Chain A
Amino acid sequence: MTDMAVDTSATAELPRTKTDWLPLLLVPALALAALPFVGSGSTWVTLTVAGLAMGMMIFLMASGLTLVFGLMDIINFGHGVFISLGAYATLLVLGPLAGWAAAESLGLNLALLGLCIVAAMAVTGVVGAVFERVIVRPVYGSHLKQILVTMGGLIVAEQAIHAIWGASPIPIPLPETLRGAFVFGDIVVERYRVVAVGIGLVVFIGMQLLLNRTRIGLLIRAGVENPEMVEALGYRIRRLFVSVFVAGSALAGLGGVMWAFYRQTLTAGMGMEVMVLVFIVIIVGGLGSVGGCFVGSILVALVANYVGFVAPKLALISNILVMALVLIWRPQGLFPVARR
């Protein structure tokens, strides 16, 4: 080795780490700004907690898609089917363990929910692997073909759900102890929403740890920015693509379970119905950004709740309005991911 050294530090100023706080401050700022319009403090708390819970469910459904979109540059309109499939997979558990849902035991009820999640993630993960191999892989690099083919895949999968479970909506019971609400004075907080917030937070923290503290996470983040360079470093990015697609599908399945218990009804089209919201959230957050998806989900859900209460006639356009305003402010979304 050599002792020759190149020291440019004398002439270089130490750059500061830029922490982008503004998008994070948006959520509390929005919540506080909504308070005078809502009027009642207890109603505001109820709306805020409900919005947070809805935001978490949207995040669970959207987080996989933002990674698939960001890393693989795949526009997967078929993502909704994994939400539906995850929801229907709960039947595999609810059938044999119906007694657990009726039991007045929080432990049994949460165990049932956990088993539903495991079943849903397993089913959607396997179907996701097949979907990637058969439908997505032949159309890498062509957005138009991706839209057409994944839409086709979505239609076929929805019809397959009809063929397997029937076309009629299927009611599912919310586990006994997760029904009802916690009441604190005038504040009403539904129990299931608290569970949804908890699961959403666990998944978000888990994803952050995975992406920031592990080599596979570094690879995913690097791959979102520059897949070609990841390959030039000797990593097989195709394998990473498949893993991320499977994980994204499994996360959609998890979101599907939470969404199913929230609606308490299963329909084959339930995933597709939320896809507009899912796409809005990942665009608002910044394509490929898990943190952006998290903040975007909460933002969109809170706005929907506040606007729905204050000006119900505007509720339908509130999501589009949020997206438009965010994109005017930041055309690449709240947390733009550096792109190739």
Chain B
Amino acid sequence: MIEPLLKLSDVHTHVGPYHILHGVYFDIPEGELTMLLGRNGAGKTTTLRTIMGLWKASSGEIRFGEKDITAMSTPDIARSGIAYVPESMGIFTDLTVRENIVLAARSGPVDSARLDWILGLLPALKRFWNLPAGNLSGGQKQMLAIARAIAEPRRLLLVDEPTKGLAPVMVRSMIEAFKALKAAGETILLVEQSFYAASALGDNVLVMDDGRIVHSGAMSDLVADKALQQRLLGLSLDAHQ
């Protein structure tokens, strides 16, 4: 049996007085794109923040490869090979596009072949290279956030709602970008509200509700089963097309 790249076992997270995650279990297989779906407040963002150590798990275990990263600090988790794109994108608006990417390449200058690949993937960034990132539109900022996450090779990308608030044309662009990343063999855990985007991208799907994983399986199975969609997500793919 192939060991998963990321494994969460009975993870509980408290944020202040609130108990948000109530024993989360899931595995993320290497080289695949896993979608994490669920309604607002289900605990998706908390799950990503807990994996990154931004909120500490109060109990349970998070294993990344061979390492137990449950109690590790956020910088150490990032250094172990996990890149994170938060829902807010976390762009440094005072810095230029170039400076944002320079900062993301922790080990030194960005490898030029990799930079060519990134700018080939997200060519809009090339035009804004020396402009402050604060001047970019929402979609361009999202692209910069993704470019920053892949500025150096990482073993896992955690991306929180990359299509949120974007115009349909940008959503399509974003989907194409993730398809290209998938084709490049990246392992991705992607939080989404849009079932349209999720169904177009996901190899696997996890559905959360009330701080627990209530469904896990192949994305194609969920796409094919309208009754399951209705039960888990209160929607059908048809309604979103």
Contact between A7 and B104, CB atoms less than 8 A apart: no
Residues of chain A within 8 A (CB-CB) of B179 are: 4
Residues of chain A within 8 A (CB-CB) of B121 are: 2, 4-6
Tell me the complex Cα distance, A276–B84, Å: 41
10 extra A-B contacts, CB within 8 A, seeds A2-B121, A6-B123, A18-B132: A2-B184, A5-B123, A7-B173, A8-B169, A18-B135, A222-B95, A229-B90, A231-B54, A233-B106, A233-B148
Residues of chain A within 8 A (CB-CB) of B134 are: 338
Q: Which of A11, A15, A224, A228 contacts B54 (CB 8 A)?
A: A228
Q: Separation in Å of the A218 CB from the closest CB of chain B?
A: 5
Q: Which of A11, A12, A17 contacts B132 (CB 8 A)?
A: A17
With A12-B137, A232-B54, A235-B75 in contact, do A215 and B102 touch (Cβ < 8 Å)?
yes
B136 within 8 A of A: yes
Residues 56-98 (chain B) with a chain A CB within 8 angstroms: 73-75, 78-79, 84, 86, 90, 92-95
Q: Which of B73, B79, B90, B92 contacts A221 (CB 8 A)?
A: B92
Contact between B74 and A232, CB atoms less than 8 A apart: yes
Interface size class of B (residues with CB under 8 A): 35 or more
Residues of chain B within 8 A (CB-CB) of A338 are: 92-94, 134
Contact between A233 and B180, CB atoms less than 8 A apart: no
Show 20 residue pairs from A and B whose CB-CB distance is below 8 angstroms, ordered by the A residue: A2-B184, A4-B121, A6-B121, A6-B123, A6-B173, A8-B143, A12-B139, A17-B131, A17-B132, A218-B102, A218-B103, A222-B103, A226-B92, A230-B103, A232-B84, A233-B148, A234-B75, A235-B75, A235-B106, A338-B92
Closest to B118 in A: A1
Tell me the complex Cα distance, A228–B106, Å: 16
Contact between B169 and A232, CB atoms less than 8 A apart: no
Interface size class of A (residues with CB under 8 A): 35 or more
Contact between A6 and B54, CB atoms less than 8 A apart: no
Measured CB to CB, the residues of A under 8 A from B are 1-9, 11-12, 14-18, 215, 218-219, 221-222, 224-226, 228-237, 337-338
Closest to A222 in B: B92
Residues 121-141 (chain B) with a chain A CB within 8 angstroms: 121-124, 126-128, 131-132, 134-137, 139-140
Q: Which of A7, A12, A234, A235 contacts B140 (CB 8 A)?
A: A12
Tell me the complex Cα distance, A340–B69, Å: 26
Contact between B94 and A221, CB atoms less than 8 A apart: yes
Contact between B136 and A15, CB atoms less than 8 A apart: yes
B177 within 8 A of A: yes
B2 within 8 A of A: no
Q: Which of A2, A4, A233, A236 contacts B104 (CB 8 A)?
A: A233
Q: Separation in Å of the B160 CB from the closest CB of chain A?
A: 11
Contact between A4 and B75, CB atoms less than 8 A apart: no
Q: Which of A2, A12, A222, A232 contacts B183 (CB 8 A)?
A: A2
Residues of chain B within 8 A (CB-CB) of A7 are: 123-124, 173
Tell me the complex Cα distance, A316–B84, Å: 51
Q: Separation in Å of the B180 CB from the closest CB of chain A?
A: 4
Residues of chain A within 8 A (CB-CB) of B123 are: 5-7, 9
Closest to B154 in A: A234
Q: Separation in Å of the B12 CB from the closest CB of chain A?
A: 22
Residues of chain B within 8 A (CB-CB) of A222 are: 92, 94-95, 103
Residues of chain A within 8 A (CB-CB) of B32 are: none
B170 within 8 A of A: yes
